Amino acid sequence: MFLKWLSRRAPGAAPGSDPLQQARAARTRGDYDAARDACMEVLRESPQGQADAMALLGAIAADQGQLENGLEWVRRALAADRNCVAAHFARGLLLEGAERIPEAEASYRQVTMLDPTHAKAHTNLGCMLHLQERLPEAVACYRRALALEPGQPEALRNYALIAGSVEQLGEAVAGFESHLARQPGDAWAHYQLAHLHLRLGQPERALGGYDRAIALQPEQADFHFARAQVLLLLGRYPEGWREYEWRWRMDRFNGPMRRFSQPRWDGRPLENGTLLVHGETGLGDTLQFVRYAALAAARGVRVVVECQPALTTLVAGVEGVAQAVSQGEPLPPFDAHLPLIAFPGLFETTIDTIPWRGPYVRPDPLREREWAALVAGSRPLRRKVGIVWTGNPQNRGNRERSVTLQQLAPLTQAGEITFFSLQKGVAAQERGPVPEGMHFVDLTPQIRDFVDTAALMAQLDGVVAVDTSVLHLAGAMGRRTWALVPYSPDWRYHAGRRDNPWYPTMQLFRQETDGDWSAPLEALRKDLAAWAGQ
């Protein structure tokens, strides 16, 4: 993830006659063979620099993912000089690359003790604390790094990710602008500054930043993919879908490109042939884009959808889907294939031509009857609304998009509504006390899968949710849906809209200030009250 990439960037070094200086410069430009040769020359001819040379060999091994080899060089460096700062730093890089985060933290902390002015060690220590969700400690490290090296992009970027106020984000923006005034050719700094503009709700400025980054490094896939997200956010779909194809070149995308001997489908009829449609990202994407199966089937192809096991039964019932196969199961014979998320680009979808012929995900009738009895047995009030307050805690953006159950307390003033929990996982187990006065029913222990969730949802009058797969399920089922949207949302919620063109029955309640849910929750309370009083 980005924290690790940033923390492992090699510091620059100017070439010179000193072999160790030459080794550092070679490492910086990625010429690892030359760097190793120069280090070995130091080990042969200069006893005074041997610890630093061995430490640099450890750092080179870290760059190349060679953990054991690197740790051996670091061990030898520390045997020669137990206080070798470069060796402790290289050890941190190696352990970080191996995802041994607490051990990497200890190494970086040792560096800061031996050399309190080592700005990159403070940054990397902050990264390790950040990854462990020790945010106040991480912020302190980033601030110390920036006090030592005000324009350091890594510290600016990571500090901004934690920043909880416009003022703190502004500090980070100013830092990047100062850095870029000195180094306008730093493509990654333009990219990172664009991220900050996006976080500040300035997508047009973000787009300009990504454009500048791409002008400097045209083949960098991360830049193009980020640009795609902003284009889609702004509703510029044709450009956005084209840029989205760069995702396959990214090192850190959700999964590798699927490679088949069969061709990628170009939209033409297959003369009763079979099209394999395969997912690549999350449950929400599958629910959002499986609607295109009907359009593909209308072109005379038999559509087989490979999807997450949790969704196989529901996907099998979608119009146009001839067969649904769980990921990991053997695939049936097919004549062409297509990634699910490539459908909108293939069908030249614009924001005004998003296909919608009514609800396309339907609950199982037998499960519906079971859940109708369970809901009736809970003695609900006049209106029944499902609620989801948080997404997957493993998602790095979950903190921005989620609320707590206690934050939904204003909804208790919305009238005679029974709120049915649709929350599963750790968040359901750790939900805390139910807000006073909320008529709350939790039947989730009896939810076995998404088929049950859909059947329960069919018994309700509406759903209130943050950006999760359950929100997509509600939209795909055509349920009345109230969506809580963060200040800097995912592209599919667009910029400034109160509706969602992908789901006509969905209303959006957006943060007006980054991190502040009070205004959207109050607007949601009023809307629920007006609806419940009808």
Tens of pLDDT, residue by residue, the chain (534 residues): 334 333 333 344 444 468 888 999 999 888 999 999 999 999 988 777 799 999 999 999 999 889 999 999 999 999 999 999 999 999 999 999 999 999 999 999 999 999 999 999 999 999 999 888 888 899 899 989 988 988 777 787 787 777 656 777 787 888 888 889 988 999 988 998 999 899 888 999 999 999 999 999 999 999 999 999 999 999 999 999 999 999 878 765 545 567 899 999 999 998 889 999 998 778 999 999 999 999 999 999 999 999 999 999 999 999 999 999 999 999 999 999 999 999 999 999 999 999 999 999 999 999 999 999 999 999 998 999 999 999 876 666 677 889 999 999 999 999 999 999 999 887 777 788 999 999 999 999 999 999 999 999 999 999 999 999 999 999 999 999 999 999 989 999 999 899 999 999 999 999 998 889 999 999 999 999 999 987
First to last CA, the chain: 48
C-alpha to C-alpha distance for 380 and 392, rounded to whole angstroms: 28
Evaluate the CA torsion angle 301, 302, 306, 309 in order and state its sign: positive
CA distance 341 to 349: 12
Alpha-carbon distances, residue 402 vs 107, 274, 406, 526 (angstroms): 34, 40, 12, 20
pTM: 0.79
Pure H helices in 245-291: 283-289
Burial of 9 (0-12, 13-18, 19+ CB in 10 A): middle
How far apart CA 124 and CA 126 sit, in angstroms, is 5
Q: Which two tokens stand for residue 463?
A: 């759903």
SS3 480: coil
- Report the alpha-carbon distance of residue 472 to residue 488 in Å, rounded: 18
Largest CA distance in the chain: 88
Both tokens of residue 30?
């990625």
The 8-class DSSP code of residue 203 comes to H
Q: Which residue has the tokens 């009829």?
A: 269
What is the crossing angle of helices 221-233 and 203-216, to 10°? 160
Is residue 438 within 8 A of residue 413, CB to CB? The reply is no
The answer to whether residues 40 and 33 touch, using CB atoms and an 8 Å cutoff, is no
